[in-house]
Amino acid sequence: MSVLSKAAYFWRSAAGGLKHAPFVHFIAVSTIAIALFAAGLARGASHVVDNLLASLGGEVEVTIYLAPQLGQDEVHGVHTRVVELSHGEVTVVPPEAALLRLKHELGDLGEALSELPENPLPATLELRVPEARRSPAALQTLAKELRALPGVTGVDYGEAAVERLSAIARALSFGALVALVVVLGTTIVIVAATLQLAIYARREEIEIQKLVGATDRFVKTPFLLEGLLQGLLGALVALGGLWLFGRLLGPTLGSLFAFILGPGVNAPWVETRTVVELLAAGCALGLGGSFVAVGRFLRV
Amino acid sequence: MSGPFLGVLRGRGRLSGLALPVMIQFFHVYKAYPGDPPVLQDINLNVEKGEFVFLTGPSGAGKTTLLKLIFCGEKATKGQILVGGKNIARIRESAVPYLRRNIGVVFQDFKLLPHRSVADNVGFTLDVLGVPRAEGREKVHRMLKRVGLEHKANSLPLRLSGGEQQRVVIARALVNDPTILLADEPTGNLDPALTVEIMDLLTDINIRGTTVMVATHDATLLSRYQKRTVRLERGLIVSDEDGVKAARRMLV
Ligand SMILES: Nc1ncnc2c1ncn2[C@@H]1O[C@H](COP(=O)(O)OP(=O)(O)OP(=O)(O)O)[C@@H](O)[C@H]1O
Ligand SMILES: [Mg+2]
């Protein structure tokens, strides 16, 4: 009973603190919200890039151009070597089939191809790379090995796109990490400063509490709760912001990337996991700040 | 009401048949604020359980300081102080709150929270102890009735007269049935009729077993209520008369 009524008292006291100095707490809550919103955005962005990489990987198809003068047997020989090297699925696309496909892809323009005196396309091999070898590094090695094969004139696997995307992903995650550390530090300092003000505003109350027999913990708990409440509120605001962002800009971004991702690969900005993570991060920020404030400014 | 301290006090009260247990003891206590000459010097004092003691002397004699030493509001510079058998010069910082829960204090400067209602101010003590709200409200109401302020429960302290504020402070000190009551000028702002009422209240508390120390420089109070009187002058105890002696002196 006593524990319950104490808990009730703490909550009343903490909520009273928020009500008592709304502007100061508004600043702390917005700071937390902005920090978490930014973190959520960074997370969403890296999610999109990851998806992009994964879907690119899913389509990783290496095209191996063969020398035009190769005969059936030689093509077959290269085919065997490629299978040995890559352990993947290899299809032979004869020059006629390649021309047909190109015509089809060009549509109306394709008619012009019929005018050509002879087929300019070489025979190609299409290789579907197995999952295990789809990382940019593995692809690079594989491409090098393939290029070295006799009878192979060229190898193409969308190298530039894959490399650039993985570089972006690396930069994003590194930048996000640095930003996270800076933002978290700043946020904790700001939360601590607001709580210092709260402690100052209630120094009389604290003095009297001590005089009538309050323990240190009793005096400190409401301020820790106040920090926790700030963190939770900040996280809720950030989640609301992310949700709105996803609603308003998500479809636009989705269609922007749709040409590579294909339809349906629309990364959600607010997932259950994000909710849990942001709430936890908010609590940690609020509590961290209030611990700093209580430790430094509440000499009881 | 909780804490190990009270248990000790109660146990002693029951066990001792003959000599009354000592509630407050000072052994050669000195108190000096840094940089100043001593405010209290070589104080030796025994207050028994259930006693009523006046602490008197001119302004600046050290009455408030002596009371502060008892509830650990200040630390003695030298000497030993026992409260309820515990040496408070030696108790841990974390034990101080539990000591204070058994000591009601009427502060000379009131220490009321200006933005809280009278009822909240009185209930403050109970909040700290985690008394459930309904039960606390009930106790607060009863206490306010005893000091004649039940109709002001929802007022803010600054809207009250000096005497009314004083009674709020007394109500806050008593609401938790303390073992010891330390009252610093509890009738300083009261007219004679209210003074009688408050003194009756303090006497009543004392009869129910609470040890009471009242600091006052009001001579009429001393003559009307013939109780043990400890007189301080410039930090020294200059006289310590029991009630009978005090009464005799008044007659002469
Ligand atoms: N916090 C303090 N720092 C320095 N000196 C102090 C402090 N508190 C009290 N004093 C000094 O101690 C002396 C005794 O003060 P105290 O308040 O105990 O007197 P008192 O007997 O209660 O007086 P009064 O009847 O006016 O309330 C005074 O000279 C005062 O200046
Ligand atoms: Mg005084």
Note whether A153 and A180 are same-domain residues. Answer: no
Note whether A152 and A18 are same-domain residues. Answer: no
| B132 reaches A (C-beta below 8 A) | yes
Note whether A121 and A215 are same-domain residues. Answer: no
- What is the per-residue pLDDT across A5-19, written as a single tens digit (0 to 9) for each? 788 888 888 888 878
Note whether A288 and A172 are same-domain residues. Answer: yes
Domain end position, chosen among A107, A129, A157 = A157
Note whether A112 and A207 are same-domain residues. Answer: no
Q: At A128, phi and psi to the nearest 5?
A: -90, 115
CATH number, domain containing residue A68:
3.30.70.3040
Give all strands of the β-sheet with A89-93 in edge-to-edge order.
Answer: A89-93, A124-128, A61-66, A152-156
Question: What local confidence, expressed as pLDDT, does residue A234 receive?
Answer: 94
Instruction: Find out whether B55 and B64 touch, Cβ atoms under 8 Å.
Output: no
Note whether A29 and A50 are same-domain residues. Answer: yes
What does the alpha-carbon distance between residue A77 and residue B150 come to, in Å, rounded to a whole number? 106
| B73 reaches A (C-beta below 8 A) | yes
Residues of A numbered 178-237 whose beta carbons fall under 8 angstroms of chain B's beta carbons: which are they? 204-205, 207-216, 218
As for how many domains chain A has, the answer is 2
User: CB B132 to CB A2 under 8 A?
Assistant: yes
Name the residue of chain A whose CA is nearest to B104's CA: A212
What does the alpha-carbon distance between residue A162 and residue A164 come to, in Å, rounded to a whole number? 6
Which residues contact ligand 1 via a Cβ below 6 A? B 33, 36, 39, 57, 59-65, 108, 217
Token duo for residue A48: 């999109």
Note whether A71 and A143 are same-domain residues. Answer: yes
Residues in chain B: 252
- Average the pLDDT over B233-239 and give the result: 95
Residue of B213, B147, B152 lying closest to B175 (CA atoms)? B147
A21 vs B contacts (CB less than 8 Å): none
Mean pLDDT over each residue of chain A, to the nearest integer: 81
Domain extent, residue A260, equals 2-55+163-297
User: CB A211 to CB B71 under 8 A?
Assistant: yes
| B110 reaches A (C-beta below 8 A) | no
Smallest CA separation from ligand 1 atom 25, residue: B59
Which residues lie at CB < 5 A from ion ligand 2? Answer: B 63-64, 108
Q: Look-up: residue for tokens 């707490």?
A: A25
Note whether A36 and A102 are same-domain residues. Answer: no
By CB neighbour count within 10 A (0-12 exposed, 13-18 middle, 19+ buried), where does B193 fall?
exposed
HEC-encoded secondary structure of chain A: CHHHHHHHHHHHHHHHHHHHCHHHHHHHHHHHHHHHHHHHHHHHHHHHHHHHHHHHHHCCEEEEEECCCCCHHHHHHHHHHHHHHHCCEEEEECHHHHHHHHHHHHHHHHHHHHHCCCCCCCCEEEEECCHHHCCHHHHHHHHHHHHCCCCEEEEECCHHHHHHHHHHHHHHHHHHHHHHHHHHHHHHHHHHHHHHHHHHHCHHHHHHHHHCCCCHHHHHHHHHHHHHHHHHHHHHHHHHHHHHHHHHHHHHHHHHHHHHHCCCCCCCCCCHHHHHHHHHHHHHHHHHHHHHHHHHHCCC
Q: Kindly tell me if the per-residue pLDDT of B194 is higher than 70.
A: yes
Token duo for residue B122: 């009185």
Q: For residue A206, how many C-alpha atoms fall within 13 Å in the half-sphere facing its CB?
A: 19
Note whether A177 and A192 are same-domain residues. Answer: yes
Lowest mean pLDDT among A112-121, A213-222, B35-44, B57-66: A112-121
pLDDT confidence bin for B17, thresholds 50/70/90:
very low
pLDDT confidence bin for B8, thresholds 50/70/90:
very low
Domain end position, chosen among A130, A157, A184 = A157
Q: Kindly tell me if the per-residue pLDDT of A224 is higher than 70.
A: yes
Token duo for residue A238: 């950030």
Note whether A73 and A169 are same-domain residues. Answer: no
Note whether A72 and A193 are same-domain residues. Answer: no
Instruction: Find out whether B217 and B24 touch, Cβ atoms under 8 Å.
Output: no
Domain end position, chosen among A115, A132, A157 = A157
Note whether A289 and A200 are same-domain residues. Answer: yes
Name residue A124's beta-bridge partners: A65, A93
Nearest Cβ partner for A214 among B97, B111, B172: B97
Nearest Cβ partner for B128 among A204, A212, A216: A212
Question: What local confidence, expressed as pLDDT, does residue B9 receive?
Answer: 44
- What is the per-residue pLDDT across B56-74, written as a single tens digit (0 to 9) for each? 999 999 999 999 999 999 9
Q: Kindly tell me if the per-residue pLDDT of A137 is higher than 70.
A: yes
Looking at residue B153, its amino acid is A
Vertex B19 angle, CA B14 and B23, to 5°:
70
What does the alpha-carbon distance between residue A222 and residue A20 come to, in Å, rounded to a whole number? 13
For every residue of B1-59, DSSP letters joined together read ---HHHHHHHHHHHH-SSSPPEEEEEEEEEE--TTS--SEEEEEEEEETT-EEEEE-ST
- What is the per-residue pLDDT across B80-104, written as a single tens digit (0 to 9) for each? 999 998 999 888 989 999 999 999 9
